[in-house]
Structure 1
Amino acid sequence: MSTQARIPSLDLSGPVEALWPELLGAVEKVLRSAHYILGPEVAAFEEEVARFLGTRHAVSCNSGTDALVLALRAVGVGPGDEVITTPFTFFATPEAVSNVGARPVFVDIDPDTFNLDPRLVDAAVTSRTRAIIPVHLFGRPCDMAGVLGAAARHGLRVVEDCAQAFGARYHGKPVGTLGHAGCFSFFPTKNLSGFGDGGLLATDDEGLAQTARMLRVHGSRRKYHNEAVGCNSRLDELQAALLRVKLPRVAAWNEARVRAARNYQGLLGGDGLLVPPEISDGHVFNQYTVRMRSRSLDRDRVRARLGDEGIDTMVYYPVPCHRLKVYGQSHAEVICPEAELAASEVLSLPLWPGMDAEVQAQVASTLHRILREG
């Protein structure tokens, strides 16, 4: 292994150091207020996110996973229903479907974008289908025109999984505002990152927002007057206060991610053994994910060699959801060849806002050499 400092897959320290006085001030303000749950910081954060997204309602909760569950329940998905989604995503996407008693129906991906292929949706619709969950994977917007068209043809609800795409835009409009609801995560690795778990549901539908707000506090609109079996899914005041410090910077950080992606493109674009991601409009690059072009390349071996030389990388995701053990029997008949191939070929390289160009050059040159050596 190299004696140089390791290059992490993500460096979270820079924004923290730059914002340290403001972050400490936000924490002190909350601690001195003695108001820690669903207080003024949460209310202000929800208002500011709604304004940032250009949507009427923003309902915070304790994770992106819970945002999906709340959204599905609020649009009426329940036991016996089916929800169409992609198999090439984090397990939380289909898990939310299963957690409301519905069945995830997996549709294969477009190999050029890694996102759900809307051209395959019509064939997957049955009399039990109630909704579609497109995932804006790696920060790249899904083909929402195709998704919304399929939804309109079949009378389906659309819940966008925007966990990796805060600030991304589709034809100029923020993702999460195109369907009936958009669900966001503030997990520490996300574009707008918290200091623990956190999530949010965005919608223009007042009834949907009211239902989500009720469900997140044990199914009650008024304390001790429970209307439904809900859950405890509240964003705490500390997280809201810290996220409020970061929110005004997220657009600039996303621009910095795109600049880093463009730099990688120049460094890697000429290597015929790799397929770099397209720099498409609205993409905010939560991940910079390449795929191995040559079938002779062993992705896991390449990754191990990069690790030996001090460069950390990630694989999102090594097993498509329909091949996970939890769905092994119930989805044994599902075949999604593009997702299965992508799972064996993708590799996410180090990328973060403010990443030094020299560090990117080191990553690229090391990767070039390893690929040439075979």
Structure 2
Amino acid sequence: MRTEHTTAAGDALRHHGDAEVRDDGAGLVDLAVNVRADTPPVWLREEIARSLSSLAAYPDGRAARAAVAARHGLPVERVLLTAGAAEAFVLLARSLEVRKPVVVHPQFTEPEAALRDAGHTVARVLLREADGFRLDPGAVPEDADLVVIGNPTNPTSVLHPAAAIASLARPGRILVVDEAFMDAVPGEREALAGRTDVPGLVVLRSLTKTWGLAGLRIGYVLAAPETIAELERAQPLWPVSTPALAAARACVAPRALAEAAHAAHRIAADRAHLVAGLAAFADRGVRVAGPAEGPFVLVRTAGAAAVRRRLRELGYAVRRGDTFPGLDDDWIRMAVRDKATVNGFLAGLDRALG
């Protein structure tokens, strides 16, 4: 592992999976975006549709906030609803007084981009493939007063032990854990959401991944009441729309939690099928980072950029890896899909590898 300091923001940090399927991506099988493909379910669409009769009134987030708090066993003062997890990163970057922020990479690039846009100089801790992209808490500088890490981490799909992440907590340090994909992990093992015993802990959750609501923008922050109050002051009025609030209430209800738990086990089975299929290409230079625990896998293969282009010609979109700090252009990320889709993709990969 190594630490590096960065200053100027690069366009690469703003590249996300949706860029692979925009514009000329019509008709492509989408393995580039980490949103569950069979969502939102009918019952959720109907719940959102019912909220449309209330659009004349300003959004009232109290019921949704209380529902999220109850889902995690927390008081409402520890919950802030946001327009997706991305808004939360901007609020953190703009409202918290920090001097030495550190982002643990490879991971989702929006936290660093938001910090840079807010004028911060960001230090990176780069996890290594040789270590399985696993966190070494000792690699994080002691003087860091803000640390950001994803769990499970996008794009590596590594699930770090909760104890290892919690050990990063220090007096005077904000510890931000992006758990956007935690509900895709069976049992949500290693989750820190709901914990109140870790000083400075800020947990971010997204409802857009598991429920297919990326276009609606809904997520939330769990943190100490004083941190929540500070972030809330930085929000504009009515930041979360009425349909998004309806979705939030629905997605933390018992029925939805049971469905998400079932989906997590199905994703794990589909991921095992994908990883086994990829292992068949090991003698052709394909290597899967792992063990993968999220709804996506990270793959290394020589000439990945050319492989990605050939896959696109064959009808499959995957995510380039070189825009993630710590990775180069030999990496690609692919979302887990159902077995039939995966089988078609593996046949395409066979041809793309040439």
TM-score by length of 2: 0.74
- Report which of the two structures shows the higher radius of gyration computed on alpha carbons: 1
- How many residues end up aligned between the 2 structures? 308
Match of 1:102 among 120, 136, 142: 120
Match of 2:139 among 120, 133, 136: 120
Q: Aligned-pair RMSD on alpha carbons? A: 3.1
8 A contact 1:167–1:174 mirrored in 2: no
Match of 1:52 among 71, 83, 86: 71
Partner of 1:65: 86
Mapped pair 1:201 → 2:221: yes
Structure 2: any 5+ residue segments left out of the alignment?
1-26
Q: Deviations over 1:295-352 (max 9, x none)?
A: xx2001111111111122112x42245xxxxxxxxxxxxxxxxx1xx33222122424
Q: Report the Cα distance in structure 2 between the residues aligned to 1:90 and 1:44, rounded to whole angstroms.
A: 30
User: Would the alpha carbon gap of residues 77 and 165 (structure 1) be closer, same or farther in structure 2, given more than 3 Å must change?
Assistant: farther
| The 10-residue stretch of structure 1 (360-369 or 143-152) with the greater mean CA deviation from structure 2 | 143-152
| The 10-residue stretch of structure 1 (358-367 or 206-215) with the greater mean CA deviation from structure 2 | 206-215
User: Would the alpha carbon gap of residues 175 and 345 (structure 1) be closer, same or farther in structure 2, given more than 3 Å must change?
Assistant: farther
Q: Report the Cα distance in structure 2 between the residues aligned to 1:113 and 1:344, rounded to whole angstroms.
A: 18
1:186 positional shift: 4.2
Q: Report the Cα distance in structure 2 between the residues aligned to 1:170 and 1:319, rounded to whole angstroms.
A: 31
Mapped pair 1:362 → 2:347: no
Partner of 1:35: 57
Q: Report the Cα distance in structure 2 between the residues aligned to 1:350 and 1:212, rounded to whole angstroms.
A: 32
Match of 2:274 among 264, 278, 281: 264
1:62 positional shift: 1.9
1:24 positional shift: 3.1
SS of residue paired to 1:134: strand
> Equivalent residues in 2 for 1:339-358 (5 A)?
339=326, 342-352=327-337, 355=338, 357-358=339-340
8 A contact 1:199–1:235 mirrored in 2: no
Residue identity matched to 1:107: V
Q: Report the Cα distance in structure 2 between the residues aligned to 1:177 and 1:343, rounded to whole angstroms.
A: 36
Percent of pairs with identical residues: 14
Residue identity matched to 1:349: M
Q: Report the Cα distance in structure 2 between the residues aligned to 1:114 and 1:232, rounded to whole angstroms.
A: 40
Residue identity matched to 2:169: A
Residue identity matched to 1:254: A
Match of 2:191 among 174, 187, 190: 174
Q: Relative contact order, CA 8 A, sep 6+: which one is greater?
A: 2
Partner of 1:15: 39
Partner of 1:300: 305
> Equivalent residues in 2 for 1:150-161 (5 A)?
150-152=168-170, 155-161=172-178
Q: Deviations over 1:58-95 (max 9, x none)?
A: 21012323212434566x434xx011112423331112
Structure 1: any 5+ residue segments left out of the alignment?
217-230, 322-338
Mapped pair 1:240 → 2:245: yes
User: Would the alpha carbon gap of residues 291 and 51 (structure 1) be closer, same or farther in structure 2, given more than 3 Å must change?
Assistant: farther
